[in-house]
Amino acid sequence: MKIVKTVSAIREEVRKIKAEGRSIGLVPTMGFLHEGHLSLIEAARAKHDVVMVSIFVNPLQFGPNEDFERYPRDLDRDERLARNGGVDILFCPGVEEMYPGETAMTIHVTKGIDVLCGASRPGHFDGVATVVMKLFQLTAPDEAFFGQKDAQQVAVIMNMVETFNVPVEIISCPTVREEDGLAKSSRNVYLTEEERQEAPFLYQALQKTAERAQAGERSREQLLQFLTGQLEGGSGAIDYVDVLTYPALEQQEKLAGRIIFAVAYHYTHARLIDNIIIEIEGEEA
């Protein structure tokens, strides 16, 4: 496995790979790799000649009161996991390498950001879209692999690729979960022992709500009330619950088609997100 830390070096690696006619699968990450990331690496490995993983904690997507400085980092561990997972190139630039001076421009996302995480994190998805576009330009992947846990992020990136005609196929892979159902996340390390024991109830609430929809409930309002009620007994605080079309992320009062049930939940030192996406039969609005 090659470890690359500069823009010039990754461009040279990509030039060689393309000259040899080999395909590239990219897994963009912010590091502190876990089984969810490894499943994306495995998916990329199955389809491509070269698997690249980027590790970059992107300051543009953190708000002024968010956890950029304390976001978990362990590059030595990440390198070991990436090598064991079959990664060919690990691209881990520093902030100065990705943003060498004052940023002259960023991508401004205008659709699908006034709901879910975007509603309480203004500018977050501008930062996500900007860094992902930079990574796509630097690594020129044929496909990029993302986890469905960050469903809004996946939708924003899909829309970005379509809007700017970026020649990258976005592959959304299923959320990887602990045995008790909790979605794997780098932020799970912030949970107290009691919070960790309780946290699987987020996924259980989503499952029950999705089952209710599949059993015939089509009212968005009724399903929102049901999902909220399932979460009200927890020791943390609800950030949001929502039921939207996917990937458009629009409200639809009588549900049909592809629907996302989503939740964000605050514990003492961790904000957890989770979702379920299902197909509901019926005429789409």
Strand residues in 116-207 grouped as ranges (E): 143-147, 169-173
Selecting among 37, 48, 108, 266, the annotated active-site residue is 37
Distance, CA of 261 to CA of 275 (rounded, Å): 5
225 annotated as a binding-site residue: no
How many CA within 13 A on the CB side of residue 131? Answer: 24
Let me know: does 39 contact 176? Beta carbons within 8 Å: yes
Distance, CA of 77 to CA of 98 (rounded, Å): 22
179 annotated as a binding-site residue: no
- CA angle 92–33–205, rounded 5-degree value: 135
221 annotated as a binding-site residue: no
37 in catalytic set: yes
147 annotated as a binding-site residue: yes
33 annotated as a binding-site residue: yes
178 annotated as a binding-site residue: no
204 annotated as a binding-site residue: no
36 annotated as a binding-site residue: yes
266 annotated as a binding-site residue: no
Burial of 182 by CB count in 10 Å (0-12 exposed, 13-18 middle, 19+ buried)? buried
Binding residues: 30-37, 61, 147-150, 153, 176, 184-187
Binding residues for (R)-pantoate: 61, 153
Active site residues: 37
